Structure 1
């Protein structure tokens, strides 16, 4: 509807209401409009009634319809979630039964197996069909070396030291408090949100799963480098030769856990002897103080008594973090109350000005806390800086080389919209969260303690380089009262803390 038609329609409405007010006594007009909910029309002036009708039909009615539709969707989500639980239970039951049957069949088959003459020799005894130099050239032509090392022992011994000797593991975890607070608010008041997730059911499902968990591990990736599974660098081998190698990066929780269990924490692993470099980043974006006090502190104290290790701590300079809104929006989430009607304009303005991606809110509530992971992800791109942490032995060296120092030194405009955009790009603009893995407090404590202990003391070669960097936020500073009235201010500063554990050199 264009401006002319809209004006004509409102003119007709005005004439009808004006005629109604002239014919019917005022008290009846008041009762009529009070009955249909237009309580603002008192006394019943024509222009006031017209404005009330426009507000009620064009504004409240729209939200009433959206609210009804959302309640219907939620009912469908609940039914779908309950049916998926039953389906998963039955699937797991049949999988266990299938594995048991296969296991019994294998035992019986092996027991009555008759060896035949002319049986082929084991693959491990086969000779290589090409010289070693040819095989290494094949690997450089984008052939997946993981397929080659499965062929036989000789190829395994040849290729593994060249392409699988440097690894980096990223763990990003948080308490479930942030997710539950954001998700519960969205599920209650989604009809008043401007931004909506691509898959609302996934948000509902994660909220239900988080109810029985205290922590979550996040599968993440770098938005600027979506295919960042490794980075290439130069490394000097024990023979003195300098070769280009790839450092394999694991950021999915299941991948990290699998590599940890099969290689790092497995005494019988044949593969671990080829690992010459291992770096790990543990980024705790929420609840760092409690995790350190209840879990990590005890493990780190034990490691600090090991003469073969350096255990160093540092508090870098505090830095700005992105805030989406500092008034109504976050207050409503924090207090779990309805957002005001008509806040779409504010949402749209903030999205267009600050957010580099529209998949952040509401499904990713870490738009502020994820900044520390963004700093570390960008720091990893400069592999020399991350690799230099292997050789740090003093507190002062750690303070000069910590990953947050570069971010603090970047010249950023303070307390304005441009500063918000800088911090948005570093945090939610850098880190993308793909999946949530919900775990109990006991499971989290056990895994972290074992992970830090085993990675710090990991041994394969005598000259192995190994470092574990644990990062989190110990304090959050709010804005000063003088700046609280200005919506353009950045109201939060984070005080990070890092703990570095590496080998004594």
Structure 2
């Protein structure tokens, strides 16, 4: 009701010719919120609070019993026995062949290389040693990896709000049960890892190994190659660059707080190390980021601009409307992704004066400032005011369009112990001459200091809820050159 009072006060600013139309609109909105929304929320909560738990707890067991009856285990045992027999026969047959003939590929390696462009070449290196020796240098010679981490506090608020109040747009195609399952799973984990990439990078051919951003692949490389002293593939690696982007305050505490695990590791060990160079960059300036209202305190439909009568809510014309609709509840994050977008762009930058390879070659005593991902963007958007009413529309569009380039392809939940162990073990391995002495290594941590999500339904301005928020990057780079 407060939002409606605010709405009618806003009518004082409207020309008299349009006032009658907006009064009618206001009463229609009052009827909509007081009648239709209450009925909708009641039916919605029956589905999310009653039907979904029944479907999860009981129907899952019923379907499991139908499609996986106990008698199927007999068939499985028979199939297993037959597989063992076939395996023994194939092993005996292979022993009869010469090792030279067995190791020789059916096609020349040039043809296999062309085949690898249309499939995942990582699968080819598992065939035999010949394939491993040929394809591993193409994949692992220069490893550039990206990890994007966030705590689960915001996604939990997002999913809980969706379970209680439903979508912003009633005709938006959303997997409601998928959001419910994600909410149940996320409650058991402290962190989530996001697979993020630029939209124009989606769908590249398989032979493009420029950036490894999928968490499953990065985790496999970190655990089985970088952190493994007995890794066979490590001999092919010449350079490792790992960039860790932290979206929320909890990870930032680990980076800046004196009790944080990363802070302790850098301060107590790496800062005093003779073979590692540590660079810190905490700029005073702000990086502006486009945001669409991320309010999770109550029903999001109470704002006039969020009602279906005005579908152009949050001014999504600044970005693709399909991108705007996917933020809630699917992708969750928007303003948090600005620095990660700059990081991805920086990694792919071919500029000779400022790119990730230049950053990896920094040594003690050299300046980090001019080589960061943020300096150039700050110069391009310098002077952008926080107050929307005085904001240059073109600059707002530039920020919104640039920020919406980042896409979240997938996400994976992990525990606090696993996340901290993975980061600390990787940091120890990358900076160790015993484990990776023959490799040039560079690891960066990108944190950010963002304002909290909105706690009021009243927007910053009377006309739109689209605004610019701001963030301040915290950037730490650790370089370890190849051991002479």
Per chain length, whose mean CA-contact separation is higher, i.e. which structure has more relative contact order (CA < 8 Å, sep 6+)?
Answer: 2
- Checking the alignment, whether the CA contact within 8 Å between 2:292 and 2:467 is kept in structure 1 is no
| Rounded Cα–Cα distance in structure 1 between residues aligned with 2:32 and 2:342 | 45
RMSD (CA atoms): 4.3
C-alpha displacement of 1:404: 1.2
- Quote the residue 2:227 is aligned against: 265
1:374 equivalent among 338, 341, 347: 341
User: What's the offset of the Cα at 1:55?
Assistant: 6.9
Aligned-partner SS, 1:359? helix
Deviation at residue 432 of structure 1 after TM alignment: 1.6
Q: Which residue of structure 1 lines up, in the alignment, with residue 40 of structure 2?
A: 66
CA contact (8 A) 2:276 2:479 kept: yes
Partner of 2:317: 353
1:164 matches 2:140: yes
Structure of larger gyration radius: 1
Distance 1:164 1:485, change over 3 A: closer
1:311 aligns with 2:288: no
Contiguous gaps of at least 5 residues in structure 1 = 1-49, 232-245
CA positional deviation for 1:70: 1.8
1:317-367 Cα shifts (integer Å, max 9, x gaps): 321011224xxxx5x52x335641643256623243233213122322211
Are residues 129 and 205 of structure 1, via their aligned partners in 2, closer, same or farther at CA, if it must alter by over 3 Å?
Answer: closer
Q: Relative to 1, partners in 2 of residues 1:251 and 1:81: Cα closer, same or farther, differing over 3 Å?
A: farther
1:323 aligns with 2:291: yes
TM-score, scaled to structure 2: 0.73
Which stretch of structure 1 is more off in the superposition, 168-177 or 63-72?
63-72
Hey, what does 1:432 align to over in structure 2?
A: 407
For the residue of structure 2 that corresponds to 1:363, the secondary structure is helix
Deviation at 1:379, TM superposition (A): 1.4
> In structure 1, which of residues 396, 399, 407 is the aligned counterpart of residue 369 of structure 2?
399
Give the direction of change, closer, same or farther, for the CA distance of 1:397–1:370 in structure 2 (3 Å limit).
same
The residue aligned with 2:416 is 441
For residue 120 of structure 1, the aligned residue among 97, 100, 103 is 97
CA spacing shift, 1:71–1:124, aligned 2, 3 Å: farther
Checking the alignment, whether the CA contact within 8 Å between 1:168 and 1:280 is kept in structure 2 is yes
1:297 has 2:263 as partner = yes
Q: Which moved more, 1:413-422 or 1:161-170?
A: 413-422
Q: Which moved more, 1:281-290 or 1:404-413?
A: 404-413
* Residues 312 and 395, structure 1, Cα contact 8 Å, conserved in 2: no
Offset at residue 273 of structure 1 (A): 0.5
CA pair 212-153 structure 1, distance change in 2 beyond 3 A = closer
Aligned-partner Cα distance in 1 for 2:209–2:433: 17
Alignment of 1:9-408 (within 5 A): 60-74=34-48, 75-83=50-58, 119-122=96-99, 126=103, 135-136=109-110, 139=113, 142=117, 145-146=121-122, 148-190=124-166, 196=172, 198-228=174-204, 247-287=209-249, 288-292=251-255, 293=257, 294-301=260-267, 302-316=269-283, 317-325=285-293, 330=294, 332-333=295-296, 335-336=297-298, 339-340=301-302, 342=304, 343-344=306-307, 348-356=312-320, 357=323, 358-383=325-350, 385-394=355-364, 397-408=367-378
Equivalent of residue 384 in structure 2, options 411, 414, 417: 414
The answer as to whether partners of 1:196 and 1:362 remain within 8 angstroms in 2 is no
- Give me the TM-score of the superposition, normalised by structure 1: 0.70
Q: Does the alignment pair 1:470 with 2:445? A: yes
Q: Supply the distance in 2 between the matched residues of 1:170 and 1:503 (Cα, whole angstroms).
A: 18
CA distance, structure 1, for counterparts of residue 288 and residue 92 of structure 2:
70
Find the residue that maps to 1:203 and give its secondary structure.
helix
Shift of 1:414: 2.5
Instruction: Kindly indicate whether residue 468 of structure 2 is the aligned counterpart of residue 498 of structure 1.
Output: no
CA 271–186 in structure 1, closer or farther in 2 if over 3 Å, else same: same
260-269 or 340-349, larger mean C-alpha shift: 340-349
1:303 touches 1:453 (CA, 8 Å); kept in 2?
Answer: no
Judging changes above 3 Å, is the alpha-carbon distance between structure 1 residues 421 and 263 closer, same or farther for their aligned structure 2 residues?
same
